[in-house]
Structure 1
Amino acid sequence: MAVAVSRDLSVQVLEDQNTVKLTDRQQYLHDAKQRGQPKCIGVSQVVLGLMIMSYAIPLHFINHTEVVYLGVPWWSGLVFITAGVVAIILDKHCTTRTFQASLVVNFVSTVVSVIAVITYSVDMDKHPGASCVKNLDGSCNINFYTTFFTEAASSTSRTLA
């Protein structure tokens, strides 16, 4: 804290430059946080992580592929949940450290999602859909139904490429 004394012996307390800089920086960080609405983003990321993990449960009841062996839905879902929790914490306690942690975790979740998409694409290409072999009752065999959506997604991705 700086003090100034004038010729008439009046004392003035001047603002400390470090305090002003810190206050301005905290206000800028708070404004940036409000623009991004981290609580909404965090809740969305947590829900997305839970959806990824819950949609992966049926994968354990069909033929195991590389996606199941590598546990892609589990670790990608956990990374999204972690990113969401950090964003929710950022909304409650906005500091420079939590802001930087949120940025790092979101970058990691982006990289993990790209790796997961590549893994799913390779898995769909290696395990195409099976053809329908009719059973005695006229329905197709179980392999057709377990790979039906894989074939549909694979043909869609080929047409987009």
Structure 2
Amino acid sequence: MSRIDESREFIPVRIAVLTVSDSRSLAEDRSGDTLVARIEAAGHLLAARHILPDDRAQIAAQLRAWVADPEVDVVISTGGTGLTGRDVSVEAHRDVYEKEIDAFGTVFTIVSMQKIGTSAVQSRACGGVAGGTYLFALPGSPGACRDAWDEILVKQLDYRHKPCNFVEIFPRLEEHKRRK
């Protein structure tokens, strides 16, 4: 099973948080606050934080800007992963991904099933990689953000996590671009 290898040094990751909402301001952003608190408590760095409306083009543009920013290693968005007409975060993320992390959505569903039962089928949480940056789209509830962070991301974004983690493969995410 997974464990922390105390012989390895912790490596802080620079994480940007994007809240997708037509109605929330920063003062009312409980899901974003949940993520920021957990990111900082884990020892990572908050690289940026924004709120955008449920607009596919705007979301994708912000994701691309952060992918291009060398000061951002990971992007986590919250909101817009449901089934309604305004829920377009997943589509925006997939517009940007070079590779999708299919198992992220599967593992998130398993975690969610333990908390909310079959209502977990209504979430389309997803993860991917673009330009050497990890991107994750989470549902807009604080509970879903807690679950994704506490059960998946805190472990995978910790270099000490064994048997493997996202941080240790950062240097290899763009190895295909190196000259041979």
Shorter-chain TM-score: what band?
Answer: under 0.3
Bigger strand share? 2
Tell me the TM-score normalised to structure 2 length: 0.23
Highest RCO, 1 vs 2 (Cα 8 Å, sep ≥ 6): 2
Bigger helix share? 1
